[in-house]
Chain A
Amino acid sequence: MPLIAEIAISVLLVVAGLFGLVGSYGLLRLPDAMTRLHAPTKATTVGVGGVLLASMLYFAVNGSVSWHELLIALFLFLTAPITANLVAKAHMHREMSQGELPDSDTGRVWATFERPGAPIAPVLTSAAPVESAKS
């Protein structure tokens, strides 16, 4: 393996490790649940991303291109926001009330605080009319 590739891979691994460490440190240091949520969801995307890049580079230099890392990154990007959203919603549900949050300016409350009996009717529309009902 050429020296330049070794240096690049090492730099990627060290930078990724540093971001992972900062993410974990933030979890320890920030004052409350919502702010703590920020540190690991952010810092670990670059932390994991750096390790994946290093892995791809290593295998590319050694003559066998590997594509699995792209999929890992893709699935991480798809799942990280959902995890954060669920943690945030659970926190709002248990610890907060509508009064502590800003108004939604739409005339409806935030979805977490909807009463169970109220109709679940998000008036989301899409451009094309729904065809499945007809056929």
Chain B
Amino acid sequence: MRRLFPHPFLTLTLIITWLLLVNGFKIGSLVMAVILGTVIPLLTAAYWPDRPPLRNPRAVIGYVLLVIWDILMANIAVAKIVVFMPKAQLRPAWITVPLELTSPEAITVLAGTITLTPGTVTADMSACGRALLVHCLHAPDPDAVRDDIKARYESRLLRIFA
């Protein structure tokens, strides 16, 4: 079983993606989806040396909802800054976010989340992978932004990824 499905989550993702692409449910497309979901992980196994260490898959749903909500709020906040704030009051800042996460998948998710949410963009990672460089559009208090990222997102990701 483990040899046939080395990455159960990847298989599941591929099946769902294929069914969404087909845009309707038929038994034929489900068969095709299962074939693709089996063959693609096997063929690409060399690029996935170990499986993403998902410890708590159910917490993913809560995390996704939180991020979508934050993106909505982020957009309103950034729109206000763009339209109303005078250029002289704008306080862009670079901040360093030290990482407790160690798995590459978890760090990728964190970096993507930071870019998608309020006025922050992940610009770079330290050469050893222990810190992220984040640019803030408007951060009068850079330390608060860093603590917010660590408390709001990284702590949740630490619970999701082993």
Contact = CB atoms under 8 A, between A and B. Distances in A.
Contacts of A45: 71, 75, 116
Interface of B is mostly: mixed
A9 interface: no
Q: How large is the interface on A (under 10, 10 to 19, 20 to 34, 35 or more residues)?
A: 35 or more
Interface residues of B, number: 52
A126 B95 CA distance: 26
Interface in B87-140: 87, 90, 92, 94-96, 98, 102-104, 107, 111-112, 115-116, 118-119, 121-131, 133, 135, 137
B57 interface: no
Contacts, number: 170
B128 A107 contact: yes
Nearest to A75: B17
Contact of A104 (B87, B133, B162): B133
B126 A92 contact: no
Contacts of A132: 45-46, 49
Given A68-B23, A102-B95, A108-B126, A125 B50 contact: no
Contacts of B87: 29-31
Contacts of A38: 78, 119, 121, 135, 137
B8 interface: no
B20 interface: yes
Query: Which 7 A-B pairs have CB atoms at the shortest separation, nearest pair first?
Result: A26-B82, A81-B115, A104-B126, A88-B123, A108-B127, A122-B129, A81-B112
Interface of B: 17, 19-21, 23-24, 45-46, 49-51, 53, 71-72, 74-75, 78-79, 82-83, 87, 90, 92, 94-96, 98, 102-104, 107, 111-112, 115-116, 118-119, 121-131, 133, 135, 137, 162
